[in-house]
Amino acid sequence: MKAESIILAIAGAFFGLIVGWVLGTQQARPVPSAATMARPESAAAAQAEQPRPLDESRVQTLRATAESDPRNAQVRIDLGNVYFDAERYEDAIVWYKQALAIDPKNTDASTDLGVSYYYLDRPDEALAQFDRSLEMDPKHAKTILNQGIVRAFGKQDLDGAVEAWQRLIAMSPDSPEAQAAKRALDSLAAAHPNLGGQQQNTPKPGAQKGK
């Protein structure tokens, strides 16, 4: 799964304490704030991290492999990742879909596809794709974290976001994804003490259950 597949960032005053970050199976690196992700005309947008330039040479190499090996799902995922890194989300979607046509049970590719939809301001499609990911793997932590993020930032469904994040914390309390969910809930609780009953149900920072 791409490092960019998990995006948690600032969303106005309610999420002012959440630092923008991404988490994936390969690496972690900063990403623009949620204000930037919404593409407003603001100083924050001007300061956003620039996308990586498209690696045309790598694209050509991967395309050649894909053409010569029509049943190779991984090379299509790699192409989707290259386009994702360059913020060419429409192109990323094409390749993630091709990969899933070959390997329909690939949860990581399914979730990366959902994140691509989100970045194209298509939150309903993103959430539907996450649902498909969770049908494959109901305990896929990155998908559940993303589900909460898109509910909060894409649909303004804060109760739904709280439900997803609390479910993630209960399921995998020591995971990096659960730690991110805790930070999100703590920041949200500071502004909305009664939202989703999270004051009673959310563990305090640093208080983690054993595995």
Per-residue three-class SS string for 88-155: CHHHHHHHHHHHHHHCCCCHHHHHHHHHHHHHCCCHHHHHHHHHHHHHHCCCCHHHHHHHHHHHHHHC
**Per-residue model confidence as pLDDT tens digits over 74-116:** 999 999 999 999 999 999 999 999 999 999 999 999 999 999 9
Looking up residue 185, the CATH number of its domain turns out to be: 1.25.40.10
Higher per-residue confidence, 113 vs 197: 113
Higher per-residue confidence, 10 vs 69: 69
Question: Comparing 7-16, 48-57, 135-144, 145-154, which segment has the lowest mean pLDDT?
Answer: 7-16
In a domain, 100, yes or no: yes
In a domain, 208, yes or no: no
pTM of the model: 0.75
Query: What are the contacts of 18-26 at 24+ separation with CB within 8 A?
Result: 18/183, 18/184, 18/187, 21/180, 23/142, 23/145, 23/176, 23/177, 23/180, 24/142, 25/1, 25/108, 26/1, 26/2
Q: Is residue 67 scored above 70 in pLDDT?
A: yes
pLDDT band at 52, cuts 50/70/90? confident
In a domain, 210, yes or no: no
Q: Which structural domain, as residue segments, surrounds residue 68?
A: 3-201
CA pair distance 155, 128, nearest whole angstrom: 13
The pLDDT mean for the chain works out to 77
Token match 């990096």: residue?
A: 176
Q: Is residue 7 scored above 80 in pLDDT?
A: no
Output the pLDDT for position 51. Answer: 75
Please tell me the total count of domains within the chain: 1
Output the pLDDT for position 54. Answer: 95
Output the pLDDT for position 187. Answer: 84
Token match 């879909």: residue?
A: 97
